[in-house]
Amino acid sequence: MQDEQIFKLIQEENNRQLNGIELIASENFVSEQVMRAMGSVLTNKYAEGLPGKRYYGGCEIVDQVEQIAIDRLCELFGATWANVQPHSGAQANAAVFLACLNPGDKILGFDLSHGGHLTHGSPVNFSGKLYKPFFYGVNKETGRIDYDIMEETALRERPKMIICGASAYSRDWDYARIRKVADEIGALVLADISHPAGLIATKLLNDPLDHCHIITSTTHKTLRGPRGGIIMMRHNFDNPFGLLWNNGNPKSMAAILDAAVFPGTQGGPLENVIASKAVAFAEALSPGYKTYMQQTQKNASVMASEFMKLGYNIVSGGTDNHSMLIDLRSKGISGKDAENSLVLADITVNKNMVPFDTESPFITSGIRVGTPAITSRGVKEAEIPKIVELIDRALMNREQASEISALRKEVKELMGSRPLFTWE
């Protein structure tokens, strides 16, 4: 029996993606083989445990699949240990916290309202409920991370973990300085690289594995794989908590992190998703992937410049990565109104808080924009000014239905004939 209702909606979503301009910084398009692996018979297999150490029989083949994913990920980032089982970036962070912290321990993260992530200590998230969060943010004048405030807060509060990484920050990170502060107070450093992971893997941004104890990431966004999470370390090390095996030897951080994923925070891994991750990692190891990442970065740089030419305020004055945060207060538009107006023109962005925002999280004063998805569809920098012009027209004419309708047609003409994924 064919489920006509659901497959009709899937086709409608395919058409929406095909005919629109996708600018949500956390979204991307995957290759056919990534989707094929995810929709494979591997979805039928339960495989609690790790390769070679399962709690179920019949895992001989999925063991090979998962080990390939681990090996490819380690090669991609120069890691020596990785766990590819987390179902999401949030699950990866939850496992790291479980491995490294006790309830009530202090953590220091990048403020959500300045561009951080929910799982870095937000009071509405488990990370802010189970642990005692403190925050650093950006300088009001420059829009860049205020490392002096980060250091002052760390030295005063002495958190057990410093978290770096963001969901809406367009500049590179000074991982070396963060590690220096952490070493002074005996803290661990977690780098959540979910957004810029692909740029880091291709050496287009600073490498957190050189300085941070533990790395987490999603596998979608710039990595252009399925939705999922990962945990990595450049070097394994003995845990600093005094935890020992029965023979008296110290447990390694790798062993503690593995146990924090399963059985600590998850049950059986999704081996179909892990296979899909493995395919995406192989794609990211190919020479063409760096070209793709360079183009993504170039498109973002040009886009930020074009917005600024039209009088838009880009937080931090530009971008080093794939994204930008646009403060719309100078244009007299809320993030919510901007998002809704652009959706009517088949241009997808998301409303987003900006640093020192005067609106609520449900309204916001800004939008977040990114270039990974349009770059996957073959968009080059020469086409970026046209896309920015379409966005500006939609925002400036947001109450004129006829203009929005005309814009929707232009968007379809620009994007409708493009595949969802190109290999360039």
> How many other C-beta atoms lie within 10 A of the C-beta of residue 1?
3
Indicate which residues carry an active-site annotation: 46, 48, 192, 218, 221, 227
CB under 8 Å to 89, separation ≥6 — which residues? Answer: 119, 192, 194, 216, 217, 218, 229
- Rg over CA atoms, the chain: 22
Helix (H, G, I), strand (E, B) or coil at 81: strand
How far apart CA 369 and CA 13 sit, in angstroms, is: 21
CA atoms within 13 A of residue 54's CA, in its CB half-sphere: 20
Domains within the chain, CATH numbers bracketed: 32-284 (3.40.640.10), 288-415 (3.90.1150.10)
Confidence (pTM) = 0.97
pLDDT recorded at residue 90: 98
pLDDT in tens, 265-290: 999 999 999 999 999 999 999 999 99
Which residues of the chain, if any, have pLDDT below 50?
Answer: none
Cα–Cα dist 250/350, whole Å: 46
Instruction: For residues 198 and 289, give the distance between their C-alpha atoms in angstroms, rounded to a whole number.
Output: 9
List, for residues 129-148, the tens digit of each pLDDT value: 999 999 999 999 999 999 99
Q: Which contiguous run of DSSP H or E holds residue 180?
A: helix 175-185
Distance CA(293)–CA(74), nearest Å, equals 19
Separation of first and last alpha carbons in the chain: 39
Give the pLDDT confidence score for residue 423 in this predicted structure.
84
